[in-house]
Amino acid sequence: MTAPDGQPLDVLVVGAGPTGLAAALIAHDHGAHVRIVDRRPDAPRFSRAFLVQPRTLEVLRPHGVTDELLALGDSNPQVHLHLRRRCVPVDVGEIRLPDTAFPNFLLVRQADVEAVLRRALRGRGVEVEWETQCESFRAVDGVVCDVTHQGIRRHIAARFLVGCDGSTSTVRATAGISWDGSVYPHEILLADIELEGDVQTGVTHVAVHRDGLLFLLPLGETARWRVLTAQPPNRAQAQTDRQHLQKILDRADVHARITRIAWSERVRVQHRVASRYRCGPVFLAGDAAHAFSPAGGQGMNTGIQDSADLGWKLAFAARLRPDGDAALLRSYAEERRRAAQQVLLLTHVLFWAEAGRGRVPSLLRGAFSSTGAPLVPVLLRRRRLVAHAVRVLAQLRRHYRRGPLSVEGSGDSGVAAPAGERIPDEEVAVDGGRQRLHDLIATPAVHVLLHRDTQWGMPPAPDGRLRVHRIRSWSGTGIVIVRPDGYVGFRSGSDTQGAAEWLELVGASPARST
Ligand SMILES: Cc1cc2nc3c(=O)[nH]c(=O)nc-3n(C[C@H](O)[C@H](O)[C@H](O)COP(=O)(O)OP(=O)(O)OC[C@H]3O[C@@H](n4cnc5c(N)ncnc54)[C@H](O)[C@@H]3O)c2cc1C
Q: How many whole angstroms separate alpha carbon 147 and alpha carbon 436?
A: 46
CA–centroid distance, residue 43 to ligand 1 (Å):
13
Between the CA of 405 and the centroid of ligand 1 the distance, in Å, is 29
- How far does residue 260's CA lie from ligand 1's centre (Å)? 27
Of 12, 14, 110, the one to substitute when testing ligand 1's pocket (max ligand atoms within 8 A of C-beta) is 110
Kindly state if the Cβ of 287 falls inside 6 Å of ligand 1: yes
Q: How does residue 93 score in pLDDT terms, banded at 50, 70 and 90? A: confident
Q: Is the CB of 486 under 6 A from ligand 1?
A: no
Indicate whether 348 and 439 sit together in one domain: no
Claim to verify: residue 412 and residue 477 sit in the same structural domain: yes
**395 C-beta closer than 6 A to ligand 1:** no
Q: Which of 284, 287, 298 to mutate to test the pocket of ligand 1 (most atoms within 8 A of CB)?
A: 287
Residue 442 lies in a domain: yes
* Chain length of the chain: 514
pLDDT band at 2 (very low <50, low <70, confident <90, very high): very low
Residue 299 CA, ligand 1 centroid: distance in Å: 8
Please report the atom of ligand 1 found closest to the CA of residue 15: 34
The answer to whether residue 230 is domain-embedded is: no
Residue 514 is predicted with a pLDDT of: 47
Check pocket membership of 56 for ligand 1, CB cut-off 6 A.
no
Predicted confidence (pLDDT) per residue in 264-287, tens digit: 999 999 999 999 999 999 999 999
How close is the Cα of 367 to the center of ligand 1, in Å? 35
Q: Do both 132 and 47 map to the same domain?
A: yes
Q: CA-CA distances (angstroms) from residue 77 to 74, 89, 103, 110?
A: 6, 11, 12, 16
Ligand 1 close to Cβ of residue 170 (< 6 A): yes
**Claim to verify: residue 351 and residue 411 sit in the same structural domain:** no
| Ligand 1: centre distance to CA 307 (Å) | 14
Do 350 and 411 fall into the same domain? Answer: no
Answer yes or no: is pLDDT of 412 > 90.
Answer: no
- At residue 276, the 3 state secondary structure works out as coil
Q: What CA–CA distance (Å, rounded) separates 466 from 507?
A: 10
Identify which of 215, 228, 209, 303 has the alpha carbon closest to the alpha carbon of residue 267. Answer: 228
Q: Are residues 63 and 128 in the same domain?
A: yes
Q: Are residues 51 and 130 in the same domain?
A: yes
How far is ligand 1, taken at its centre, from the CA of residue 354, in Å? 21
73 CB within 6 A, ligand 1: no
CATH number at residue 147: 3.50.50.60
Cα–Cα dist 25/13, whole Å: 10
Residue 277 included in any domain: yes
**What pLDDT sits at residue 204?**
95
d(CA 29, CA 21): 12
- CA-proximal residue: ligand 1, atom 4 (nearest): 49
Query: Which ligand 1 atom is at minimum distance from the Cα of 135?
Result: 41
Domain for residue 429, yes or no? yes
Same-domain status, 143 and 56? yes
Ligand 1 proximity of 37 Cβ (cutoff 6 Å): yes
| Percent residues over pLDDT 90 in the chain | 76
Domain encompassing residue 460: 407-512
pLDDT at position 494: 86
User: Does residue 284 form part of some domain?
Assistant: yes
Measured between alpha carbons, how far is 292 from 268 in angstroms, rounded to an integer?
Answer: 11
Cβ partners under 8 Å of residue 45, min gap 6:
111
Measured from the Cβ of residue 120, the count of other Cβ atoms closer than 10 Å reads: 21
Q: Which residues are CB-contacts of 210 (< 8 A; sequence separation ≥ 6)?
A: 362, 365, 366, 369
The verdict on 291 and 431 lying in the same domain is no
Identify whether 493 is part of a domain: yes
pLDDT band for position 376 (50/70/90)? confident
pLDDT at 254 over 80: yes
pLDDT of residue 7: 56
305-342 pLDDT tens trace: 999 999 999 999 998 877 778 889 999 999 999 999 99
Specify whether 282 is located in the same domain as 133. Answer: yes
Helix/strand/coil for 296: coil
CB 223 within 8 A of CB 281: no
- Using alpha carbons, select from 118, 35, 25 the residue that is nearest to residue 63: 25
**Pair (30, 171) in one structural domain:** yes
Using the 3D structure, point to which of 338, 356, 374 is the last residue of a domain.
356
Is residue 122 domain-resident? yes
In the beta sheet, which residues pair with residue 90? 79
Amino acid at 94: E
Q: How many domains does the chain have?
A: 2
| Residue 420 and residue 305 share a domain | no
Q: Is residue 131 part of a domain?
A: yes
ipTM for this model: 0.98
The CATH number assigned to the domain holding 480 equals 3.40.30.120
Cα–ligand 1 centroid distance for 287 (angstroms): 6
pLDDT exceeds cutoff 90 at 509 = no
